[in-house]
């Protein structure tokens, strides 16, 4: 209680002294730090995000020529390196985000599954369009991940089991986790205020497409639309975990195809 010179008193309301400082869903929020520095840091994360897939692809390809111990050690070193990268990106995002993590409810999971189904249908449609116009329905990125689907390797041409399984898990879980933190979370929340939609929506989707090495205009459109769907999943609640789920569901199809193809040849 505070007493003023005129004898009046004032008792503070306890509710006012303990106001919730958690950002509200429609409250305007701004990026932390210098925008130019944030752009440079984003470019660094953009480059770093390439390391896990490229490294694991290399290990799988060369594990054919490695003994079991060397292939296993190389894969374990990859897991250590990838763990460090994931920790660095996650730590940076948590320090710079202006959004609060949100729990999944049944409705959120259903919506994310719907996004994943829409994404899969879009990819199938664009792949058929690519086949008609370009003569091939496989992008350069898919060729790197799945190999040449028209040729069947012999068992002695296969990589070792452990690296291949880790490769499939990397595609399914690690790559989507990193890419969503970087292309949706970090990109939006360190470069744009919360209320901005169209500019980050378009630019992040184009940047995402460029990361997948499209070699024709149909592939450019396909990966750009893919980035847009991920962004819409993220934007719905300002929750990067939503776009992660959609991305993992989508990439999980590729991961399963890799394992089915591998073990079909291995046991043939």
What pLDDT does 59 receive?
A: 95
What pLDDT does 139 receive?
A: 82
Give the residue among 96, 175, 150, 113 at the shortest CA–CA distance from 261. Answer: 150
Give the residue among 140, 156, 133, 123 at the shortest CA–CA distance from 228. Answer: 123
What pLDDT does 17 receive?
A: 43
User: Does a structural domain hold residue 129?
Assistant: yes
User: Does a structural domain hold residue 171?
Assistant: yes
User: Does a structural domain hold residue 8?
Assistant: no
What pLDDT does 19 receive?
A: 47
User: Does a structural domain hold residue 104?
Assistant: no
At 157, is the secondary structure helix, strand, or coil? helix
User: Does a structural domain hold residue 26?
Assistant: no
Cα separation, 41 vs 37, in Å, equals 6
The set of residues, in sequence order, having a beta carbon less than 8 Å from that of 224 and lying 6+ positions away, is: 205, 206, 208, 209
**Number of compact structural domains in the chain:** 1
The set of residues, in sequence order, having a beta carbon less than 8 Å from that of 153 and lying 6+ positions away, is: 147, 265
User: Does a structural domain hold residue 193?
Assistant: yes
Q: Could you say which residues of the chain have pLDDT below 70?
A: 1-26, 146-154, 156-157
Is there a contact between 112 and 233 (Cβ–Cβ < 8 Å)?
yes
User: Does a structural domain hold residue 219?
Assistant: yes
User: Domain containing 169: what range?
Assistant: 31-79+120-266
User: Does a structural domain hold residue 125?
Assistant: yes
What pLDDT does 8 receive?
A: 52
């Amino acid at each position: 209680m505070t007493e003023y010179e005129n004898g009046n008193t004032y008792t503070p309301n306890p509710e006012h002294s303990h106001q919730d400082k958690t950002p509200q869903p429609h409250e305007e929020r701004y990026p932390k730090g210098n925008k130019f520095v944030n752009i440079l840091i984003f470019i660094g994360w953009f480059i770093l995000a390439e390391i896990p897939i490229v490294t694991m692809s290399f290990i799988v390809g060369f594990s054919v020529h490695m003994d079991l111990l060397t292939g296993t050690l190389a894969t374990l070193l990859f897991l250590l390196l990838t763990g460090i990268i994931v920790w660095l990106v996650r730590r940076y995002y948590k320090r710079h985000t202006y959004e609060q993590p949100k729990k999944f409810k049944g409705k959120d999971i259903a919506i994310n599954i719907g996004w994943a189904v829409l994404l899969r249908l879009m990819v199938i449609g664009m792949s058929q369009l690519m086949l008609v116009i370009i003569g091939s329905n496989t992008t350069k990125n898919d060729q790197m991940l799945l190999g040449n689907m028209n040729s069947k390797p012999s068992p002695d041409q296969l990589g070792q089991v452990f690296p291949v399984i880790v490769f499939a898990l990397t595609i399914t879980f690690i790559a989507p986790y990193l890419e969503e933190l970087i292309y949706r979370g970090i990109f939006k929340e360190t470069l744009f205020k919360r209320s901005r939609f169209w500019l980050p929506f378009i630019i992040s989707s184009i940047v995402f497409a460029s990361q997948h090495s499209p070699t024709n205009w149909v592939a450019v459109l396909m990966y750009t639309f893919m980035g847009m769907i991920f962004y819409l999943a993220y934007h719905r609640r300002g929750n990067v975990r939503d776009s992660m789920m959609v991305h993992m569901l989508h990439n999980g199809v590729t991961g399963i195809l890799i394992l089915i193809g591998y073990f079909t040849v291995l046991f043939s």
